[in-house]
Structures are given as structure tokens and as C-alpha cells.
Amino acid sequence: MVISILLICCYICYITRVIDFHRFQASSVDPGAKSWKKCNIPSHWSGGCSIVPHTRDNRYCMEEGLYIESNVRGLDLKTGVFTYKQIKAATDNFAESNKLGEGGFGSVYKGSLLDGTLIAVKQLSSKSKQGNREFVNEIGMITGIQHPNVVRLHGCCAEHNHLLLVYEYMENNSLAHALFDQDKSKMKIDWPTRQRICVGVARGLAFLHEETTLEMVHRDIKAANILLDTDFTPKISDFGLAKLNEKENTHISTRVAGTLGYMAPEYALWGYLTYKADVYSFGVLALEIVAGKNNMKYQPNEDYVSLLDLVKIF
């Protein structure tokens, strides 16, 4: 509990300079998605991407899928490569009863491999804003990473227009589900567990920032991207927007991507990206964990005081 209080106190000092991003509705920013489609198939994960005009032509989508498949299979991945047939069998043909959740990127299904291993399959929608660039980026960022507070990637599937990511199954879903869902009467998180979640996420971020070979900035730390196992151990997930740290530079100038309300002001306004952007997001997350309130539950037609405003008041 003491650690949680210290985290909140430090964070309060920082957010006094915060612009009221909570006035915006929660949404994921996907720059340039309306007029261009980015296809990032780099030979090195820190490399750039090719940009092609957006088209709805089915033949183009098929060719693009084949291109992704050949490049993914040609990489020296430290993870498995599954066939679409294997994933269909594991999820009982993506049965509705196995669906764990759904978002702008697509759907997540529970599955079981032949050896009995439970998995969570992220099926990227063909209309997903996350798209091919984030699919390949996520594989490159998380492959081979092993840490108690980072979700494990078992493998992937890239066959034609089928883009699937296979993760370890997390029994207690996401932190957002545990904290904010109305039907959460069966899930009680006591104070020691909340403290342990805060510390676990902090350790996971420290690992990503400083201890892994591919030092990175996650860019989308929020309750929905923190998964909980059967013991409520937190695990950071969703690396589609992660950026590698460029050690020769003091910061990364990049187009803004992430979730409004969790983004640091200097990043949201000017694209000035450092590890501090993740620390800011963690601060918002820590407030949500302690308060049990969603910072982004903004209701413009009602009298409403946001979580950040409440912290400023006190």
C-alpha cells in the first residue's frame, strides 16, 4: 500500500501540468489510415516501412497477404508458426462460445492445442486499423521475450489474408475487465493485490525499457492492455504500437499513436517520445487501480468530474 501511495504522490506532482485530455473520447489513433495503407515488412525490426495507396481490390489484398506470409516465415523467429487449420481446430472454428472479446483490431478467442495448452488467439480483422504494420511489428517486438510481467507469444499464423497471433491464455481477462465491468461481482481485488498489480506492471515496463535486447517504448499502456492470470499476476500485452529506443537520440520524433487520455502531453501534442510517455501512462493506470474508476469514462451530457480532475482537487 505504501508503494502505491508513493506512486500516486509522485504522479500528482507531474499531472499538475497536464492538458485536459480526458475531454476527448477514448480512441486509438491511427495516423494516415484514411488515405494510405502501411505495410511494414522490414528485414530488421527497427527499419522503416513501404507505403502503398489504399485499395479495396481483393487481388491486391491476397497478394499482400502472401507477401506477409513469405516474410514472416522467412524470419528467424523465436516463436512458433501455426497453420490456419491448426488455429481453427484449436478454437472450434472460432466458435462464438470461445470469444473472449472484440475490439477495433478484431476478435480474441480462447483455444486449446493438441497437448492441452490453453491459448488466446487474436484474430486481426481485414478492416482493422491495426493492420499489417502492427501485426508484423508486434511479432518482432515480443518474439523471444520472457518476463513474468510480459505476456508470452506462442506463435503466429499468416496465411493469405488470415493474420493471427497466439498468446498464452490469461484466466482473469484484462485489468479493465476486473476494474470497470459492471458485472464484476465475482471478482474482488483487495488492496494487497492492487499493490502487487502496480508493482508488476512497473517491473514489466522497467524490463522493456532497460533490460531486454530490444529496448522499447510500449506507447499504449492502459488497463485494457494489462492481462491477469489466475493469481492476478499482471502481464503487459499488445505491442502493435511499440517503438524501439534509438539510443543515439535523446527522443524519438514520431507520429502520435496510442489511446487519448493515457498519452503524455509532450507526446500527444508534438510527437516527442521517450520512456517518460510510458511512465505517464502508468501513472494514469495507477490512479485507476487505486480509485477503481475509469479515467476515460467521459459523459459530456452529465455533470462529471474526471479522475484526473479529482486528483488535482485533492
Average pLDDT over residues 206-231: 94
Confidence band for 249, pLDDT divided at 50, 70 and 90: low
CATH 1.10.510.10 positions along the chain are: 172-313
Mean pLDDT over 173-189 rounds to 81
With a cut of 50, say whether residue 119 has pLDDT above it.
yes
pLDDT, position 151: 96
Each residue's pLDDT tens digit, 68-117:
555 555 455 556 789 999 999 999 999 999 999 887 677 999 999 999 99
| 77-168: CATH number | 3.30.200.20
Would you say how long the chain is, in residues? Answer: 314
Which 8-state DSSP code applies to residue 303? Answer: -
Is a pLDDT exceeding 50 seen at residue 54? no
Q: Is the pLDDT of residue 184 over 80?
A: no
Q: Is the pLDDT of residue 230 over 90?
A: yes
The whole-number average pLDDT for the span 254-272 is 88
Is 220 marked active-site?
Answer: yes
Whole-number pLDDT of residue 138: 83
- The count of other CB atoms within 10 Å of the CB of residue 147 is 16
What average pLDDT does the chain have? 75
* Active-site option among 92, 115, 183, 220: 220
Q: How many other C-beta atoms can be found within 10 angstroms of the C-beta atom of residue 280? A: 22
Task: Look at residue 181 in the predicted model and tell me its pLDDT.
Answer: 84
Of 140-144, 158-162, 211-215, 301-305, the one with minimum mean pLDDT is 301-305
pLDDT at 215: 87
Which tops the pLDDT comparison, 82 or 300? 82
| Residue 203 scores a pLDDT above 60 | yes
The torsion defined by the Cα of 49, 55, 58 and 59, in degrees rounded to 10, comes to: -60
Q: What does the pLDDT look like over 264-297, one tens digit per residue?
A: 999 999 888 899 999 999 999 999 999 988 887 7
What is the Cα 290 distance to its own chain's centre?
A: 21
In this structure, of 4-18, 133-147, 175-189, the range with the lowest mean pLDDT score is: 4-18
CATH 3.40.190.10 fits 172-313, yes or no: no
Instruction: State the pLDDT at residue 16.
Output: 40
CB pairs under 8 A, 24+ apart, for 205-211?
A: 205/236, 205/278, 205/279, 205/282, 207/147, 207/149, 207/150, 208/150, 208/236, 208/242, 208/278, 209/245, 209/275, 209/278
- Using the predicted structure, report yes or no on whether residue 202 has a pLDDT greater than 90: yes
Domain with CATH 3.30.200.20 in the chain: 77-168
Instruction: Output the CA angle 143-145-146, nearest 5 degrees.
Output: 135
Inter-residue contact 228 to 173 (CB < 8 Å): yes
Question: Which pLDDT belongs to residue 124?
Answer: 83
Any known ligand binding at 188? no
**How many angstroms from the chain centroid is the CA of residue 285?**
13
pLDDT tier for residue 57 given thresholds of 50, 70 and 90? very low
Cα separation, 198 vs 239, whole angstroms: 19
- Cell numbers found for residue 86: 491448426
